[in-house]
Amino acid sequence: MTLAILLKYARYVSFAVSIILILRMLIQYRKVRSVSRKSCVIAIVFPVVTLLVYSVLIGSSVPFLALSALLAFGLALGLWQGRNTAVWIENGRPRARNTIWFLVVWAVSYTLMQVMVHLGNRLSLNLGIATMCASTMIAVGSQGWIMLRLSRAAGLPVRGAATTAAPHESRSCRACGTGIVPGDRFCRACGAGVR
């Protein structure tokens, strides 16, 4: 089997997987999920390995300066995304919920990457690898930020049955939904001012 045929089949499989992932993301992006350091590491390692596999199979001649700028842009976007993800402790377990911005960033980066890779010519493959670099760094930044917040779990807001605050003290941030600790003037998750 030649490399061209192998890449053709890989594109079809990748397209099918893309449709499934898009549908899954649209259904689940706002659902509350359990998070842990392990889940963050997996969410970082998977796109990095995928990027390396694509880079080896397809190759890339993206200029170093452009690649560095894309990596920095992706990392900055990821850190912003991780900062805007609501993370809290509920019943003694860390939980998280994405915002609409998570979906927007994910959809744009994923769509650009898939369109460029599926077009199949050399320029589009390089653009596909470039967008894949940016989206990989988005995952690294967002999951890295969440992992950092988990390492400081004592500062995370507490919700659910584990909350011992009086009902009048139990407030949530209007911007991201994170629980507000009495006396705070700003949300610990997103930085928004609280009243």
- Taking the C-alpha atoms of residue 99 and residue 37, their distance in angstroms, rounded to an integer, is 20
pLDDT at 123 over 70: no
Between 87 and 171, residue with greater pLDDT: 87
- Comparing 7-16, 129-138, 165-174, 181-190, the range with the smallest average pLDDT is 165-174
User: For the chain, where are the alpha helices, taking DSSP H only?
Assistant: 3-28, 37-58, 64-83, 100-119, 122-151
- pLDDT single digits (tens) 144-188: 999 999 998 778 888 875 444 444 455 778 777 777 877 777 787
Beta-carbon contacts of residue 109 (< 8 Å; ≥ 6 apart): 74, 131, 134, 135, 138
- pLDDT single digits (tens) 37-65: 999 999 999 999 988 888 887 777 778 88
